Structure 1
Amino acid sequence: MKLKKLAALALAGTMSLSLAACGGGAKETPAPEDSTPPASAAVETPAPETKVHKIGILAPAVTHGWSAAVAYNAELRCKELGLEYKVNVSNNADEMTTGLDELKSWGAEAIVAFPQWEGMEVPIQQTIDEGIPVVNFDIAIDATGVYRVSGDNKDMGVQGAKYVVDKIGTTGTVVILDVPTSGSVAQLRKEGFLETLAEIAPDMKTIEYATQFTREAGLTDMADILTANSQIDAVYSMDDETSIGAIQAIMDAGRTDIKVITGGGGAQEYFNMMKDEQYGDLWIESALYSPAMVKDAVDMAVDILDGNPPAEDVKIIPTTIVDKDNVDQFLDANSPY
Structure 2
Amino acid sequence: MRKLLKGLAVSMLGLSMLVGCTTQAPGTGDKETGAKKEEITVGLAISTQSNPFFVTLKEGAEKAAKENNMKLITVDAQDDPAKQISGIEDLVQRQVDVLLVNPTDSAAVVSAIESANRANIPVITVDRSAEGGEVVSHVASDNEAGGKMAAEYLLEKIGKQGNVVELEGIPGSSAARERGKGFHEIMDKEKNVKIVAKQPADFDRAKGMSVMENILQSNKDIKAVFAHNDEMALGALKAIQSAGLKDVVVVGFDATDDAVAAVKDGRMGATVAQKPELIGKQAIEVAKKVVAGEKVEKNIPVALELIKQ
TM range (shorter): 0.7 to 0.9
1:237 aligns with 2:224: no
What is the root-mean-square deviation of aligned Cα atoms in Å? 2.2
Q: Which residue of 2 aligns with 1:109?
A: 97
| Equivalent-residue separation in structure 1 for 2:162 and 2:252 (angstroms) | 19
**TM-score, normalised relative to structure 2:** 0.83
- The 1:296/1:182 distance shift into structure 2, 3 A limit, reads farther
Secondary structure at 1:94 match in 2: helix
Q: Which residue of 2 aligns with 1:307?
A: 293
Contact 1:73 1:295 (C-alpha < 8 Å) held by counterparts? yes
**TM-score, normalised relative to structure 1:** 0.76
Contact 2:113 2:134 (C-alpha < 8 Å) held by counterparts? no
Q: Which residue of 2 aligns with 1:73?
A: 60
1:125 aligns with 2:129: no
Secondary structure at 1:309 match in 2: coil
| Equivalent-residue separation in structure 2 for 1:313 and 1:183 (angstroms) | 20
Secondary structure at 2:138 match in 1: strand
| Equivalent-residue separation in structure 1 for 2:173 and 2:140 (angstroms) | 14
| Equivalent-residue separation in structure 2 for 1:102 and 1:154 (angstroms) | 32
1:97 aligns with 2:82: no
1:62 aligns with 2:49: yes
Secondary structure at 1:221 match in 2: helix
Q: CA deviation at 1:180?
A: 4.1
Secondary structure at 1:213 match in 2: coil
Q: Any stretches of 5+ residues in structure 1 without a counterpart?
A: 1-45, 325-337
1:85 aligns with 2:72: yes
Q: CA deviation at 1:245?
A: 1.2
Q: CA deviation at 1:314?
A: 1.1
Secondary structure at 1:262 match in 2: strand
1:284 aligns with 2:272: no
Letter in 2 for 1:131: N
Which runs of 4 or more aligned residues in structure 1 lie more than 6 Å from their structure 2 counterparts after TM superposition? none
Q: CA deviation at 1:159?
A: 0.7
Letter in 2 for 1:95: K
Contact 2:168 2:176 (C-alpha < 8 Å) held by counterparts? yes
| Equivalent-residue separation in structure 1 for 2:97 and 2:298 (angstroms) | 18
Q: Any stretches of 5+ residues in structure 2 without a counterpart?
A: 1-32
- Deviations along 1:37-92, one digit per CA (max 9) or x if unpaired, are xxxxxxxxx99434421111111342222222222222222112111222112232
| Equivalent-residue separation in structure 2 for 1:202 and 1:317 (angstroms) | 33
Secondary structure at 1:263 match in 2: strand
> Of the candidates 280, 290, 303, which is equivalent to residue 318 of structure 1?
303
Q: CA deviation at 1:204?
A: 1.2
- The 1:94/1:180 distance shift into structure 2, 3 A limit, reads closer
Q: 97-106 or 296-305: which moved more?
A: 97-106
1:160 aligns with 2:150: yes
| Equivalent-residue separation in structure 2 for 1:74 and 1:111 (angstroms) | 12
| Equivalent-residue separation in structure 1 for 2:91 and 2:201 (angstroms) | 32
Secondary structure at 1:76 match in 2: helix
> Of the candidates 120, 127, 131, which is equivalent to residue 138 of structure 1?
127
Percent sequence identity over matched residues?
Answer: 23
| Equivalent-residue separation in structure 2 for 1:257 and 1:228 (angstroms) | 19
Q: Which residue of 1 aligns with 2:202?
A: 212
| Equivalent-residue separation in structure 2 for 1:55 and 1:102 (angstroms) | 13
Contact 2:77 2:104 (C-alpha < 8 Å) held by counterparts? no
Secondary structure at 1:148 match in 2: strand
- The 1:88/1:188 distance shift into structure 2, 3 A limit, reads same
